[in-house]
Amino acid sequence: MFFRNFINMFFLLVFPSLLILLFGSIYGNDPSPEFYGYGTVDISVPAYAGMVISITGLMNLPLTLCEYREKKILKRYKATPIQPLSVILSQFIVNILMTTIGMLLLVAVAKVVFGFRFQGNLGAVILVFYYSALSLYSLGFLIASLIPNMKSATAIANLIYFPMIFLTGATIPFELMPEWLQKVAQVLPVTHIVKAMKTVWFGDSLWSAWPSLLVLTGFLVVCSALSLRFFRWES
């Protein structure tokens, strides 16, 4: 069912790589003082992790669950031996798997075409990536819990998704944004995903990313609690 959704497949598997090819072709990947001695592609790959996670966490996950509720699929599941947790867990597994594939494809394109540099600890990068996904997925579950139908869910998801990817450094480098916009972006969780990913991606310790991870933990706890409180299996 995930593969049948062309829009999500395009934005998850194709769009990030297209952006890397576009900006890499324009600006190259030579070291730049603006990016602390790294190239445009070097700085963009960890930042685009925020975009990749957002596509599944803010678009596919909540919209799928809202569609299940609106079409009475969740109601029918309740009449079977399937437990509610199984439905939620299956959605989480599918989306996290596709997010992983999207990120690996992005890394492969950046490495093959531009020879981007990676100097971080792979274990720390993997830990931050999946913890970031878990945190943002909690927001996706909250959207699915509060919105009653697909039409409203699509509008709300888009309203949240586009500021998340354009104002947080997940597409346009955070370093190039005006200072006032950088301050505004601090309230958005994807900003802290991008910051945490860049921190460990370029060799700093996991502890160095604790301010961003603390913010993500706050989103995870609050959104998860509200999701459990307000989630409905029927409209």
pLDDT of 202-222, one tens digit each?
Answer: 888 889 999 999 999 999 999
Q: Is the pLDDT of residue 84 over 70?
A: no
Structure confidence by residue, pLDDT tens digits, 23-44: 888 888 888 777 777 888 888 9
**Strand boundaries in the chain, DSSP class E:** none
pLDDT of residue 219: 94
Q: What is the mean pLDDT of residues 71-97?
A: 81
C-alpha 225/C-alpha 65 separation (Å) is 18
Angstrom CA distances, 94 to 101, 104, 223, stand at 11, 16, 20
Domain positions in the chain are 6-230
pLDDT of residue 8: 82
Q: Is the pLDDT of residue 102 over 90?
A: yes
Q: Is the pLDDT of residue 119 over 80?
A: yes
Provide the b/e sequence for 77-115 (b: ≥16 CB within 10 Å).
beeeeeeeeebbeebbebbbebbbebbebbbebbeeebe
Six token digits for residue 75: 């109601």
C-alpha 91/C-alpha 83 separation (Å) is 13
pLDDT of residue 101: 96
Residue carrying structure tokens 């509008």 = 155
Q: What is the mean pLDDT of residues 83-103?
A: 87
Six token digits for residue 67: 């569609």
pLDDT of residue 68: 84
Residue carrying structure tokens 């991008």 = 194
Percent of the chain at pLDDT above 70? 99
